[in-house]
Amino acid sequence: MTFVIVSLIKIALVFAVFMTTLAYLQWVERKVLAHIQSRTGPLRVGPHGLMQPLADVLKLLTKEDLLPPYVNRFFYLLAPFIAVSLALITIAVIPFGPHINVFGISTDMQISDINVGVLFPLAIAAVSVYGIALAGWSSNNKYSLLGGLRSSAQMISYELPLTLAIVAPLLLVNHLSFRAIADGQAGYYLGFIPRWAIFQMPFPQIFGFLIFLISAFAETNRIPFDLPEAENELVAGFHTEYSSMKFASFFMAEYANIVNITCVGTVLFLGAWQPLFPAPYSNWVPPLVFLAAGILCFFHGLNPARKNDQITFPIFGVAFLALAALFAIPPLQFILAPLFWFAAKVGLLILVFIWIRGTLPRFRYDQLMHFAWTFLFPCALVNLLLTALLVALFPGNP
Amino acid sequence: MDTVLFVICAIVAIVCAFNLVLQKHPISSALSLIGVMSSLAVLYLLLGAEFMAMAQMIVYGGAVMVLFIFVIMLLNAGTEKNSNKSWFAQIAGLPLLLAFVAVVAFLIRSAVPGLKNVSFGSWWGGTAQNVGRLLFTTYLLPFEIISILILIAILGAVVLAQKEID
In angstroms, how far is the first alpha carbon of chain B from the final one? 59
Q: Is residue A102 part of a domain?
A: yes
Hey, is the C-beta of B131 within 8 angstroms of any chain A C-beta? no
Q: Is residue A291 part of a domain?
A: no
Q: Is residue A160 part of a domain?
A: yes
Q: What is the per-residue pLDDT across A13-67, written as a single tens digit (0 to 9) for each?
A: 889 999 888 888 888 998 998 989 888 888 888 778 888 888 888 888 888 888 8
Contacts of B41 in chain A (CB under 8 A): 123
Cβ atoms of residues A227 and A362 within 8 Å = yes
> Tell me, what's the pLDDT at B102?
92
Q: Is residue A298 part of a domain?
A: no
Q: Is the pLDDT of residue A116 over 80?
A: yes
Query: Which of B158, B28, B126, B124 lies closest to A134, judged by CA?
Result: B28
Q: Is residue A220 part of a domain?
A: yes
Distance of CA B161 to the CA centre of its chain: 27
Question: Domain of A82?
Answer: 68-274+329-393
Distance between B99 CA and the closest CA of chain A, angstroms: 36
Distance between A76 CA and the closest CA of chain B, angstroms: 12
Q: What is the per-residue pLDDT across A287-301, written as a single tens digit (0 to 9) for each?
A: 888 888 888 888 888
Residues facing residue A109 across a β-bridge = A97
- Give pTM, 2 decimals: 0.85
> Tell me, what's the pLDDT at B85?
67
Q: Looking at per-residue confidence, does A91 or B86 come out higher? A: A91
In angstroms, how far is the first alpha carbon of chain A from the final one? 43
> Tell me, what's the pLDDT at B59?
87
Q: Is residue A265 part of a domain?
A: yes
Q: What is the rounded average pLDDT of the residues A312-325?
A: 86
Q: Is the pLDDT of residue A398 over 50?
A: no
Q: What is the per-residue pLDDT across A65-112, written as a single tens digit (0 to 9) for each?
A: 888 887 778 888 888 888 889 889 888 888 888 888 777 777 777 888
Contacts of B53 in chain A (CB under 8 A): 116
Tell me if B62 and A149 make a contact (CB, 8 A cut-off): no
Dihedral over Cα of B137, B141, B145, B151: its sign = positive
- Cα separation, B49 vs B27, in Å, equals 30
Number of domains composing chain A: 1
Contacts of A155 in chain B (CB under 8 A): 66
Q: Is residue A324 part of a domain?
A: no
Peptide bond preceding A224 in cis form (omega within 30 of 0) = yes
Hey, is the C-beta of B128 within 8 angstroms of any chain A C-beta? yes
Q: What is the per-residue pLDDT across A330-386, written as a single tens digit (0 to 9) for each?
A: 777 778 888 888 899 999 999 999 998 888 888 888 888 888 889 999 999 999 999
How high is the mean pLDDT of chain B?
Answer: 84
Q: Is residue A122 part of a domain?
A: yes
Q: Is the pLDDT of residue A389 over 80?
A: yes
Hey, is the C-beta of B60 within 8 angstroms of any chain A C-beta? no
Q: What is the per-residue pLDDT across B92-136, written as a single tens digit (0 to 9) for each?
A: 878 888 999 999 988 988 887 777 777 777 777 778 888 888 888
Contacts of B27 in chain A (CB under 8 A): 75, 134, 137
**Helices A244-269 & A2-36 angle (0-180, nearest 10):** 100
Hey, is the C-beta of B58 within 8 angstroms of any chain A C-beta? yes
